[in-house]
Amino acid sequence: MKRAYVEINLTKYAENINRFRTIIPAETKLMAVVKADAYGHGANEISDVAVANGIDYLGVAWVSEAIALREAGIKSPILILSEPTINIAADIVRLDVTQTVYTLNFARALSDAAKQFNKIAKIHIKIDTGMNRIGVNGDEATLLVEQIHELDNIFIEGVFTHFAKADTIDDNYTLQQVKQFTEIVTSLEKKGYSFPIKHCANTAGTFNYPSAHVNMVRVGIGSYQDVLTFKSRIAYVKRVPKDSYVSYSCSYKTEKETTIATLSVGYADGLVRALSNKGHVIVNGKKYPIVGRICMDMTMIDLGDDIYHVGEEVILIGSQGSETISVEEVAELAGTISYEILCGIGKRVNRIYHY
């Protein structure tokens, strides 16, 4: 019997990917972002479905993620979304993946490695238009493109930026980012430089800023909507009297005689401790409160006078009967975002895939 597990609905993931196809122009490419183990869903399995449903690119954060996809037999184009350290430029060239570049030093390292292996290194240049995380500053972008263009064995396939506030519709900051990116790219194209792929929009940008679709969009969190169900089981049940304390710090005291069930899941599995005395779970289509501090491996819930037995299935994120606990609801209670909740579901939690 599995103590904690997630069920991944691959049909739902495919539906989400294809929904994005309906809101972008037919000629616009679609990148499926599968970094962080596909936001906790399993990068190899999710990538297989994405490729089968016609995505044009896969996006990852690190070289190690690209290596894992190639070793899994995935041959589709992969964009590494940030620069790694220079010493692994040769690995990138050997992998036949596309590399994000925003410094001349890294471009030179790729050029040297590509010459060594008699290959062409494909790159996308990232321009920072206001996120202030990574990327060449807008006023330095033209010079960088000119310098990289002079390097041997480098093909500038794309150019892109990243929005900081695209979840807000008609936001002036985002519109200014679009304007700055468009002006830089237009200026470069007038100088004779060409970029087969230009992209700005993440999930929120794809929904809220059609003018920013350019000719590729990058979809991450939106493609994972309602794909995952997080489950556990009741491991122990006991009746406790009124005024009994539950779990560490004695933060919960029973108001009457009640039944406490212990679940075989804890914060080491991704049930965040911030849900202590705030969150709920679903058992047999009914919501029950999490009581006391969530422990590393176990969590307690208050069943009142309801009777359940060891082994009963418990929904932590997902739906059962008429009740639903969404990842967004969990994130709000925990004071964070859905991305963190999904990525935080631990490796010791089994993933079960179905269509």
Burial of 345 (0-12, 13-18, 19+ CB in 10 A): buried
Per-residue pLDDT of the chain (355 residues; tens, 9 = 90+): 679 999 999 999 999 999 999 999 999 999 999 999 999 999 999 999 999 999 999 999 999 999 999 999 999 999 999 999 999 999 999 999 999 999 999 999 999 999 999 999 999 999 999 999 999 999 999 999 999 999 999 999 999 999 999 999 999 999 999 999 999 999 999 999 999 999 999 999 999 999 999 999 999 999 999 999 999 999 999 999 999 999 999 999 999 999 999 999 999 999 999 999 999 999 999 999 999 999 999 999 999 999 999 999 999 999 999 999 999 999 999 999 999 999 999 999 999 999 9
10-224: CATH, from 3.40.50.970, 3.40.50.720, 3.90.1150.10, 3.20.20.10: 3.20.20.10
- Catalytic one of 248, 256, 347, 355: 248
In whole angstroms, give the CA distance from residue 63 to residue 78. 10
Within the chain, strands assigned E span 4-9, 29-33, 57-60, 78-80, 98-101, 121-128, 136-137, 154-160, 197-199, 216-219, 228-240, 245-246, 252-253, 258-263, 280-283, 286-291, 299-304, 313-320, 323-325, 350-354
- Catalytic one of 29, 35, 198, 231: 35
Domain layout of the chain by residue ranges: 10-224, 228-354
The CATH homologous superfamily for domain 228-354 is Lyase, Ornithine Decarboxylase; Chain A, domain 1 (2.40.37.10)
What Cα–Cα distance (Å) separates residue 326 from each residue in 60, 151, 297, 300?
25, 49, 22, 20
Collapsed DSSP state (helix, strand, coil) of residue 329: helix
CB 34 within 8 A of CB 43: yes
pTM summary value = 0.94
- Residue 284: which region, alpha, beta or left (left: phi > 0; alpha: psi -120 to 50)? left
In whole angstroms, give the CA distance from residue 107 to residue 122. 10
287 is catalytic: no
245 is catalytic: no
